[in-house]
Chain A
């Protein structure tokens, strides 16, 4: 379980389009979709205290996620088996206010070779193609 931290002064935005593309693609009433929806409620209720972690500027799979942070899901869990999913958000400035905008949701370590990890999905949305 992640330790308690000081609140981070930031807002969160989840575009409907991104949500549909990242979570709407998942089967309705599937466990993973339910996890994403539950996590979204937590993020929007407690954006300053959920356990954000910086992403790697240059990740191990060729991802480039500078200025991005992630959240493991279920929120509050950390190990890949306890928290198999993740969100990635990018820090942006909107009307002078710092905002975390959702980039991607997905598996951290997918076993299906056709499934891209959440980090690769975030890279694709940022850079236009998979790493």
Chain B
């Protein structure tokens, strides 16, 4: 019996036993499945949160150095 193989691409969503997964790249360029996550834009919308201004960010954290890691 032939087995049907579904092609998946980065960004596609699949349902596995009722749980949603997204096709994502791993660090070596292969693809893997990860549970979906809620986008920050959606979380902010629900909370009524808006991006802070650059001035606000600089006032709170602008005096602190970055360490180049990420």
Contact = CB atoms under 8 A, between A and B. Distances in A.
Contacts of A90: 40
A125 B39 contact: yes
Nearest to B46: A15
Interface string B16-32: 00000000111110101
> How many residues of A sit at the interface, in one of the four size bands?
35 or more
Nearest to A117: B70
A53 to B, nearest CB: 6
Given A93-B50, A94-B49, A61 B70 contact: yes
A60 B24 contact: no
Contacts, number: 114
Contacts of B67: 53
Contact of A101 (B27, B49, B54): B49
B57 A91 contact: yes
Interface in B20-70: 24-28, 30, 32, 35, 37-40, 43-44, 47-54, 56-57, 60-62, 64-70
Contacts of A82: none
B29 to A, nearest CB: 9
Nearest to A25: B35
